[in-house]
Amino acid sequence: MDLQTLTYIVVGATFALYIGIAIWARAKSTSDFYVAGKGVPPVLNGMATAADWMSAASFISMAGLIAFYGYGGSVFLMGWTGGYVLLAMLLAPYLRKYGKFTVPEFIGDRYYGKSARILAVICLIIASITYVIGQMKGIGVAFSRFLETDYDTGLYIGMGIVFIYAVMGGMKGITYTQIAQYCVLIFAYTVPAVFISMHLTGNPIPQLGLGSTMSDGSGMFLLDKLDATMKDLGFGTYTDKERLSTFNMFVYTMSLMIGTAGLPHVIMRFFTVPKVRDARASAGWALVFIALLYTVAPAVGAMARLNLMETIHPTSGPNAGQWVEVDQRPQWFKNWEKTGLLKFEDKNGDGRIQYVADKEKNEMVKVDRDIMVLANPEIAKLPNWVVALVVAGGLAAALSTAAGLLLAIASSISHDLLKGVFVPNISEKGELLASRFAMAGAIAAAGYLGLHPPDFAAGTVALAFGLAASSIFPALMMGIFSKKMNKQGAMAGMLVGIGITLFYVFQHKGIFFIADWKYLQSWGSNWFMGVEPNAFGAIGAVFNFVTAFIVAKLTAPPPEHIQHMVEHIRVPVGAGEATGH
Amino acid sequence: MSKHASYWKANLRLVFGCLVVWFLASFVFGILLAEPLNSIRLGGYKLGFWFSQQGSIYTFVALTFFYAWRANKLDHEFGVRED
């Protein structure tokens, strides 16, 4: 059977499964819509959280970025797992104890006022929309390859599917669907990695294969061979090439970690568990299921890079040491050319494709990093069903996260802004309707911006994390760990934190990520201590904390009952069910 | 000191200890000291590279469960469990 038919069958079957589950467990009340009843045990909640969390950025994009950044790609691996440690210890148990539905609700109560709640909603919406742009990029790449069309068409089709999908279910439907999605995505990610690891090193466990010797008889370690190949072509060694600088890697990792602990759709998960101790365990289980993919990703990245190099510049076989001829290029190469995401240009007219670091001589003029994971099984000449499975897995990852985020955006607008502030007596029906409109609006905005995304999928998502890191994380932390933090301090901190981060990001990427709207170009790139905009969230968070403490010192301390509330959330005893208001 | 205040103090001590390990496994071994650690090998892995792409993640998983176990024990010791 040809690849496209197979892909239709596999993708169709998995979609039928998700939709079936969503219909079976459809949301019936607003409470169901936002947080699935109370009956989700920690292991399953962890699995659903993992699916919610691992998006197109993790599945489709991250290993591709690692393949090209090498050691520098570690920022994603450490950043997107280490954040769970913070979440488990610094936020989850206390927010569960507090027992409300949404993050802005907590911020509004803790900082006693609607203004704090509105500010939190705005920060969350900015971060979440940016996050969805990243998902749209991933979905666009997957659909364009699967339907063999250009990227823009793939994106439009993806937008339609996300809309249908997200509007159908609430959290309740989504929780069970996401468990199914986790199973599909982890299977789809691991199977090709096992095959490739087996083929290259003889070791079927990718985590071990990456540290093993090549099975080609050379006796060389895989990573040493990759280092040598990369060095020969001028790319710099794979295993110690830093991302810009040590300092940049440090703040990049920090930014992703604290951003993880500040993103609404992940935190919301911990409101759904029955008890405080379940919130602690849920974070652990979520991390186990995430780690299954995250420890395989470095192997996928390194092996994909090695296979790509071997395709274009084989080091063994009849064509050893020669660049691949233009008309001998493999079928996968031609397929990806159709999407516009892979392009070569025979600059020196020798009928062969040179792939070197030197920009003047390099003929691989466009290699979109986000195609690597999807192209990987084809490059490794794996059977078609594996390729189809990877497409289905990538779509599962992108859809589950997009749906979770859209739900967070929708609940921010309908629950926090409309019901909580502007129209307190809105009916349940009205609230649900408003949340669906909010979803449609968010999809349209993110889809439009996804036509020219600010970065590769994982890079775009990193920007979203930076925005959450600089605004929400400090406000939550101070709300729990400092009894003296007051409304003025927290709000000033959020404003300065997100303001300064947006200023830096938009200066580099354009206002609202529209490239024509860049400003202060004469300041150059990465002018703040060599930090790239994706990594700036940690710096924004520092500004947030400092501003908050200075302002809090100069203004009146929070009222007595707020200080009691803080004491109350610090101890597990007396936690009730989550309630809205 | 009240029971709740001493519970909170014990909790902060636990969190701080865990954060030290969290910081060492990622920022110190995976980034700041990655270069010198790379002279040590773990099979085909250089050690600094291994920490940044494998070791830190395993540490995080173990750490989260360790924290959950200890924190639940604290709840018990101080009699602040939910039920």
Q: What does the pLDDT read at residue A48? A: 85
The nearest alpha carbon in chain B to A294 belongs to B57
The minimum CA-CA distance between B21 and chain A, rounded to whole Å, is 11
**Please, are residues A357 and A364 in contact by the beta-carbon 8 Å criterion?**
no
Q: What residues of A are in contact with residue B30 (Cβ under 8 Å)?
A: 74, 78, 253
* Ordered per-residue pLDDT tens for chain A, 581 residues: 788 899 899 988 998 888 788 777 665 555 555 554 456 677 888 888 898 888 888 999 999 999 999 999 999 999 999 999 999 999 989 988 887 777 888 999 999 989 999 999 999 999 999 999 999 999 899 888 888 889 999 999 989 888 887 776 554 456 777 888 899 999 999 999 999 999 999 999 999 999 999 998 888 999 999 999 999 888 989 998 889 999 999 999 999 999 998 887 788 778 777 788 888 888 899 999 999 999 999 999 999 999 999 999 998 888 888 999 999 999 899 989 999 999 999 999 999 999 999 899 999 999 999 999 999 999 998 998 998 999 999 888 888 788 778 877 888 888 888 888 888 888 888 888 888 888 889 999 999 999 999 999 999 999 999 999 999 999 999 999 999 999 999 999 999 999 999 999 999 999 989 888 889 888 888 999 999 999 999 999 999 999 999 999 999 999 999 999 999 999 988 766 555 54
Distance of CA A90 to the CA centre of its chain: 21
Could you give the percent of chain B with pLDDT greater than 90?
88
Residues from chain B contacting residue A88 (CB–CB below 8 Å): 64, 67-68
Distance between B76 CA and the closest CA of chain A, angstroms:
10
Q: Is the dihedral of CA A140, A142, A143, A144 positive or negative?
A: positive
Q: Identify the helix (H) or strand (E) that includes residue A366.
A: strand A366-367
Whether chain A has a CB inside 8 Å of the CB on B28: the answer is: no
Q: Each residue of B15-51: pLDDT tens digit?
A: 999 999 999 999 999 999 999 999 999 999 999 999 9
Which runs of E-coded beta strand occur in chain B? Answer: 41-42, 45-46
Beta bridge mates, A325: A352
Are A89 and B15 an interchain contact pair (Cβ–Cβ within 8 Å)?
yes
Residue with tokens 């509330």, as numbered in its chain: A565
pTM higher than 0.90:
yes
Question: A219 or B54: which carries more pLDDT confidence?
Answer: B54
Q: B3 to chain A nearest CA, in Å? A: 10
Give the tens place of pLDDT for each residue, A179-236: 888 999 999 999 999 999 999 999 999 999 999 999 988 889 999 999 999 998 889 8
Q: Do A90 and B60 touch (CB under 8 A)?
A: no
Identify which of B52, B64, B82 has the shortest CB distance to residue A276. B82
Helix (H, G, I), strand (E, B) or coil at A351: coil
So what's the pLDDT on residue A581? Answer: 44
Residue A115: partners with Cβ closer than 8 Å, 6 or more residues away = A487, A491
Sign of CA dihedral A291, A293, A296, A300: negative
Cβ-Cβ contacts under 8 Å, A260 against chain B: none
d(CA A136, CA A351): 36
Cβ contact (<8 Å) for B7 and A294?
no
Q: Do A211 and B18 touch (CB under 8 A)?
A: no
pLDDT of B73 > 70? The answer is yes
Instruction: Read off the DSSP letter of residue A386.
Output: H
In chain B, residues with a C-beta closer than 8 Å to the C-beta of A284 are 61, 64-65, 68
Q: Quick one: pLDDT at residue A269?
A: 78
A interface test, pick of B14, B23, B60 with most A CB neighbours within 10 Å:
B60
Domain layout of chain B by residue ranges: 3-77
Cα A384 to Cα A8, A238, A378, A387, A406: the distances in Å are 12, 30, 8, 5, 33
- Say yes or no for a CB contact (<8 Å) between B52 and A74: yes
The 10s digit of each residue's pLDDT in A67-123 is 999 999 999 999 999 999 999 999 989 988 887 777 888 999 999 989 999 999 999
Query: Of the candidates A71, A298, A572, which has its C-beta nearest B82's C-beta?
Result: A572
3-state helix, strand, coil in chain B (%, to 5): 80, 5, 15
Q: What pLDDT, on the 0 to 100 scale, is given for residue A488? A: 96
Phi, psi of B65 (to 5 degrees): -70, -40
Identify the three-state secondary structure at position B42: strand
Q: Which domains does chain A have, with CATH numbers?
A: 14-304+383-570 (1.20.1730.10)
- Searching chain A, which residue's CA lies closest to the CA of residue B67? A89
Instruction: Answer whether B66 touches A (CB < 8 Å).
Output: no
